Structure 1
Amino acid sequence: MELDAKRWPDAQNDDPSAFYKVPFSRVVYIDQSDFRMKDSKDYYGLAPGKSVLLRYGFPVKCTNVVFADDNETIHEIHAEYDPEKKTKPKGVLHWVAESSPGKEPIKIEVRLFEKLFNYEAFMTF
């Protein structure tokens, strides 16, 4: 399935050039920091029994967590999605779909830059 995603936040809904297609599949990947085993009132990520919205997608609710052999490392999260978008969760997650069968995923290089200095530097001229 393909979903419409806005190219920029304030894009007009009646402008077709303001959207691009995003593949949505049975398997999606989220950032590890967007999931916790213990939920709290001020946490808007995914947790067992909790719902979040996949950006440009659907609300999903965590139904099961599968652990690796060490019983500590999370191997996968099972969730059900709401195709009618009836639920309105507060949290919104970025995600990426698994590549389609027979298609190679796009390979990219990502460079993460941290702060150059450990202290605030002042420059005077």
Structure 2
Amino acid sequence: MGPPTLTPSRTGIRKRLPLIALLTVGLACGGWLLWQQNRRSQEERALAAQTTAVQQRAIAIRVTAAGSIRPITPVNISPKQPGRVSQLLVDQGDRVVARPTSTNCWPATAPWRSKRAGATSRKPPPS
């Protein structure tokens, strides 16, 4: 007869089966974790390549367009006191700020507006 062959007994395989299964599950979980970390690091590198630090600076944009500008809500600008504008100190298109004098007005109660003044009233100054 030839040399004896070693045949594993069924009880030996059954004793090692949980160890083999545990080793297989551990390797699968370890491989999955490594794959997830690699994928995350690739996503972070791709995102870092697309982003930049925020910088605050003035932006100058000049827009040229044809058409008309209409207000959303029309507004009437009128004086609080009645009277006649005798002098306009700004031109159309001028930029104005709050509180400077932009007009000179004659009051509505000026002598030439009064019915009692008659023929002796003063005439308004030339416009």
Larger helix proportion of the pair: 2
Larger Rg over CA atoms: 2
Which has the higher relative contact order, 1 or 2, with Cα contacts under 8 A spaced 6 or more apart? 1
Larger strand proportion of the pair: 1
